[in-house]
Amino acid sequence: MPTINFYNRSDIGKKRDNNEDYSKSFEPQDSRELNQSGRLFVVADGMGGHQQGEKASSFAVETLLKVYYEAPQIPPEKRLSDIIKQINLKLIEYSEKNLPRGERTGTTLVAAVIRKDKLLVANVGDSRAYLIRDGQVRQITRDHSLVAEMVRAGTLSEAEARESKFRNRLSRSVGGSPNLEADIHPPIRLRRGDIILLCTDGLTGHVSEKDILQSAHGSAKDIAERLIRLANERGGADNITASVVKYGKPLMLPPGLTVRKLSLIGAGTLTLATFVLLGWFGASQWDKIFATPIPASSSAFTASPGMTVSPPSTFIPSAGPTQTLVTPVNVTLSPATTETPEPPVATETLAGSGLVNCAYIVVSGDYVNRIAGKFGVNSEQVFREGDVQENMGEIFPGDILIIKGVSAEVCAQNNGVVRP
């Protein structure tokens, strides 16, 4: 097994008063645990204001690191997906109970598991994972931002996206929509000399892929420090975080011989059972809020007795909310003896109708009835992003709205983007 050298570094940057980024990793010392679950590296970029963002990012990272290692019998792909879903629901519930109506705390998240010689990446939001190999840089993740989706849909050029004032508007975040699905990318077979970079947009906002490649020498610490220094030299407009992993030393190949093709494995559908996370919070009124477990999906697995997570660090919101949020105290995997098929995942497309849900950014002069008219729908079909249960009143430029039940063509004509 090649030696793995890694380093996490987060910097407040030049413009911010507090750091809402959070990064942490875990390397099991037990060889059996290492073989079953691998090493886990996580980076998050919180949002919400009044210190809510930094609390959300630390909560998400600490929770994922703690709970991931409590279910070694579940494949890492399924583990990451299910834990992220549960973190998402907890943050949503916290926002609904503690923050003013319409406000939410949330976070991006990118996680990498290195298990034996395989790399597995999961992400939500615009924090990224890169693989550096053979003098090339490959972005593994896809940004979940509205402008990135518009670029992929062909309604916005990359140059326009870079200059857009909406470039930091996320289309997906942990703590946003209750129907969150993290991207779980096909595993990549690692080779000696590979370098993995996890980072927040505070880095990629100032540093190009060419810069990353030119900085990718020396130790993991050297690379991370070099990249963060470069981002700060170019303005440091946001918090900057880099988690760098070096997978062994590169093999010495004969002159002229290189291997460039990435080996992708296991891209099939994951069908293993899911689980429920119970007892997440144990302070103040959170015990009452979460006394009733979040409903599980229709399949479950049998957990070993006493499978719990020890208390991590405290997660306390800023002054204002009366309840205290802490990271999981006793995260228990619910026991079950049977396994039943999971129900089909709901999609944003209106099945059988050829209609879709369309994301649209409010511009100056817009109001609900005008937007509804442009899309040819009733105003009751226009919703605020993340709150599709109730129509909203006043809207402002930059708000993201969801227009339900329109054709993909109408969506594109009005500079919208079809929600995946």
Q: Which residue has the higher pLDDT, 265 or 238?
A: 238
- For residue 352, the number of C-alpha atoms closer than 13 Å in the C-beta half-sphere is 0
**Domain presence at residue 274:** no
Q: Which domain holds residue 212?
A: 4-264
Q: What is the CATH number of the domain that holds 91?
A: 3.60.40.10
Give percent helix, percent strand, percent coil of the chain, each to the nearest 5: 25, 25, 50
Q: What is the DSSP string of 27-58?
A: --SSHHHHHHH-EEEEEEEEESSTTHHHHHHH
Q: What is the DSSP string of 180-194?
A: ---EEPPPEE--TTE
62 found inside a domain: yes
42 neighbors 7 (Cβ within 8 angstroms): no
User: 50 falls in which pLDDT band (50, 70, 90)?
Assistant: low
> Within a domain: residue 346?
no
pLDDT of residue 152: 84
Q: How confident is the model at residue 393 (pLDDT cuts 50, 70, 90)?
A: low
Question: Do residues 254 and 362 share a domain?
Answer: no
At 388 the pLDDT is 45
Residues 136 and 245 reside in one and the same domain: yes
- Give the DSSP per-residue string, 279-335: ----STTHHHHTSSPPPPPS---PPPTT----------PPSS-SS---S-SS-EEPP
Question: What is the reported pLDDT for 55?
Answer: 93
306 in any annotated domain: no
pLDDT, residue 385, reads 64
Query: Which of 37-51, 153-167, 333-347 shows the lowest per-residue confidence on average (mean pLDDT)?
Result: 333-347
Mean pLDDT of 360-377: 83
Q: Which two tokens stand for residue 369?
A: 């009835």
What is residue 337's predicted lDDT score, i.e. its pLDDT?
30
> Are residues 217 and 360 part of one domain?
no
Buried b (16+ CB within 10 A) or exposed e, 135-167: eebeebbebbbbbbbbbeeebbeeeebeebebb
Token code pair at residue 69: 């290692």
Q: Is the dihedral of CA 297, 302, 303, 306 positive or negative?
A: positive
Share of the chain above pLDDT 90, in %: 50
What value does the mean pLDDT take over residues 285-298?
31
Backbone φ and ψ of 143, nearest 5° = -65, 135
Domain boundary among 246, 264, 282: 264
Residue 249 shares a structural domain with residue 364: no
The answer to whether residue 326 is domain-embedded is no
**Within this chain, do residues 68 and 205 fall inside the same structural domain, yes or no?**
yes
Residues 378, 253 share a domain: no
Q: Is residue 276 part of a domain?
A: no
CA distance 244 to 223: 7
Residue 330 lies in a domain: no
Query: pLDDT per residue over 128-168, tens digit each?
Result: 999 999 999 999 999 998 888 888 888 778 778 777 777 77
Number of domains in the chain: 2
Q: Final residue of a domain: which of 200, 235, 264?
A: 264
Per-residue pLDDT tens for 1-32?
A: 789 999 999 999 999 999 999 999 999 999 99
Q: Which residues of 242-272 are buried (b: 16+ CB within 10 A; e: fewer)?
A: bbbbbbbeeeeeeeeeeeeebeeeeeeeeee
Predicted local distance difference test score (pLDDT) of residue 373? 87
- pLDDT for residue 386: 55
pLDDT of res. 359: 85
Direct distance between the N- and C-terminal alpha carbons of the chain, in angstroms, rounded to an integer: 39
Last residue of a domain, one of 264, 281, 310: 264
Average pLDDT over residues 74-79: 96
- The whole-chain average pLDDT of the chain stands at 77
Residue 294 makes CB contacts below 8 A (sequence gap 6+) with 86, 89, 276, 277
Residue 267: predicted pLDDT = 35
Same domain, residue pair 234 and 362: no
